[in-house]
Chain A
Amino acid sequence: MTAVLATRSLGRRYGRRWALRDCTLAVPAGRVTGLVGPNGAGKSTLLNLATGILTPSAGSVEVCGAPPARDPAQLAKVGFVAQDTPVYAGLTVEEHLRLGARLNPRWDAAAARRRLDRLGLDTRQRAGKLSGGQRAQLALTLGLAKRPELLLLDEPVASLDPLARREFLQVLMEAVAEGDLSVVLSSHVVSDLERVCDHLIVLVDSQVGVAGDVDVLLDTHHRLVGPRRAAHPLPRDQHVVGASHTDRQSTLVVRAPAGIADPAWTVSRLSLEDLVLAYLTPPAQGRPAAPLETVR
């Protein structure tokens, strides 16, 4: 696996508070990777470190094989749609395109204009007057027209209504289909990611809870329902991710690459959302001492 984004013991501190701590992860190239985690897990900090906007307090980060923001060539390789999709309120849409054209060597003016035309954006309008959805589309257009190797998006749809969300993700997916582009998309809403991502990284307290291709994750995680009993003993290759118990029965979420053989359990498939939630729920009894490793 070639990593388009790799961190090693990456940390960022604000005063005495660590926003991200000892984070080691690798994002595969050529995929649309969802970075999911609760608010405060360090997703934004991670992406801002990956673009070079923030400076690490500890550890290191590499994008496209080199430290971020080292020189113009390296900057050209990474596109970023920051949280709240910032644009210059006083500049018109047209002027934003001009800004992109002047500041980026690989700028694709035709594609940018085509995209905005199709969205029906009036290019003479000031960006400050755009709706949230239109502003996000403008920010995405700027990120895509730069033709980066890696596009990072920080909660791009968090503040959008469902329709704008769908349109935004559609434009993104079309762009991914057109070109050779790796995408990392952070969100705390799994349903957004489910539609577009083929790889998933769950970030819990700066740590990778689980990471892997979405299909593989879904194939190797199971919901077990059976008469109440302790999670132990399970075969050695199976790990309990989450467990809940009523008086009479136990429900477990188990990662078991080889499948579940024990006939005492009723086994069912998990949705991606349930799977992620199992990792985000604070450790309950019966959960083993954090076997946090990457599923391949």
Chain B
Amino acid sequence: MIWLTWRQLRAQAATAALAVAAIGVVAVLTGPRIADLARRTTNVFDALTSTERTLHVAGIAVLAVAPALAGAFWGAPLLARELETGTHRLAWSQSVTRARWLGTKLGLTVASGAVAIGLMSLAITWWAAPVDGVAGSTRGALPGRLTPISFAMRGVAPVGYAVFAVVLGATLGAVLRRTLPAMAVTLALYVVVQIAVPLWIRPHLAPPVTTTVTVSTSTLDGISIDPDGRNPVISTHTPDRGDWILTDETVDRSGRAATLPGWFTACLPSPDVVPASTSRQAEAASPDACFGRLADAGYRQHVAYQPAHRFWQLQWTETAFFLALSALLAAGCFWWIRPPQR
């Protein structure tokens, strides 16, 4: 059964091996310069070439897409193609129980997918480690490894996603019995999961840390204001730039969520005005006075976040979550494909 599974998996395995090799080559060729930069330069971001910045984004994109492809092109056809072309009747009339047939097929395919995507993640995580989350001296930054943009494309999380995608594809294929619909539904569901997890599940994998921040130029991340100059909203950051901010809301003296007072917008310097042209404007141009007034009035920012040092804890928890989900799905798949009872 192992031989037959390998024979059927051969083409996909070769494709994956090629992709892993290509990623490995690019990482080995371009990685050392980045590691070297990080060791010698204080501001790595400014020293990066545009190619290197593009590669950083490409690395995230590759690991975002690879598990989805594994699910659609390895998982979905695994059972659907057999059921669609009727070859399951040939396979099931050999002297091999259906559980062993399914176990070998699913096991080897899942393992191959996990290894291939694990190796990709290893190369990309190593390559990106020195530059994840670096910010430019003036503007621009690369997303940190804990942010939703790249968390699932670093470390071990991609392995959990790959296992889940392949099992999801196989199970949908068994139920739908058609390759193309199984591939489409696998992709759609996978995208839904990838959106849902960072929104609703990952923030709760560990209880978030909450803190109260006084707004100042050192804690300010930005202020957004409606075009008509109303509804200013402040966002702040915690001391470690790598923290993942979950909620950031203004509270008043009593600790209840509040909107900023009406005078705040008027107090702020207009971004259009060249500062320090007159003394009055110079006074208004310094936001520190406004922040001081805000603090005196009792306004604070209430921040809930996942601290940067929890990266690996969250990685393993999320991977375990997906492995458990995959195990449940696989059990459902075995149940669906089960032979006659008695």
Contact = CB atoms under 8 A, between A and B. Distances in A.
Q: A and B, one complex?
A: yes
Interface of A: 48, 51-56, 60, 67-73, 75-76, 78-80, 82-84, 86-91, 95, 98-100, 102-106, 139, 142-143, 146
Given A69-B340, A102-B4, A103-B1, A82 B89 contact: yes
Q: 9 shortest A-B CB distances, which residue pairs?
A: A80-B93, A103-B94, A82-B89, A76-B95, A86-B86, A55-B340, A75-B95, A104-B95, A86-B87
Nearest to B101: A103
23 contacts: A51-B93, A52-B92, A52-B339, A55-B338, A60-B342, A69-B92, A73-B95, A75-B94, A75-B96, A75-B97, A78-B93, A79-B93, A82-B90, A84-B86, A88-B8, A88-B87, A89-B85, A99-B3, A99-B94, A104-B94, A143-B93, A146-B94, A146-B95
A95 B7 contact: yes
Nearest to B100: A72
Given A91-B7, A99-B4, A102-B1, A71 B90 contact: no
Interface in B73-98: 85-90, 92-98
B44 to A, nearest CB: 49
B96 A71 contact: no
Contacts of B7: 91, 95, 99
B254 interface: no
Given A55-B338, A104-B95, 8 more contacts: A55-B339, A72-B96, A83-B86, A88-B8, A89-B85, A103-B95, A104-B94, A146-B95
A86 B89 contact: yes
A68 B94 contact: no
Interface of B: 1, 3-4, 7-8, 85-90, 92-98, 338-342
Contact of B95 (A67, A72, A87, A143): A72
B95 A105 contact: yes
Given A68-B340, A88-B87, A102-B1, A53 B93 contact: yes
B14 to A, nearest CB: 14
B340 A52 contact: yes
Contact of A102 (B3, B8, B85, B339): B3
Given A95-B7, A102-B4, A69 B86 contact: no
A53 B188 CA distance: 31
A89 B87 CA distance: 9
Contact of A53 (B1, B4, B89, B341): B89
A121 B89 CA distance: 23
A161 to B, nearest CB: 21
Nearest to B88: A53
A100 B87 CA distance: 14
A277 B208 CA distance: 78
Contact of B89 (A60, A80, A90, A106): A80
A102 B341 CA distance: 26
B87 A75 contact: no
B93 A87 contact: no
Nearest to A103: B94
A1 to B, nearest CB: 24
Given A48-B89, A139-B90, A69 B95 contact: no
Contacts of B90: 82, 86-88, 139, 142
A104 B88 CA distance: 16
B87 to A, nearest CB: 5
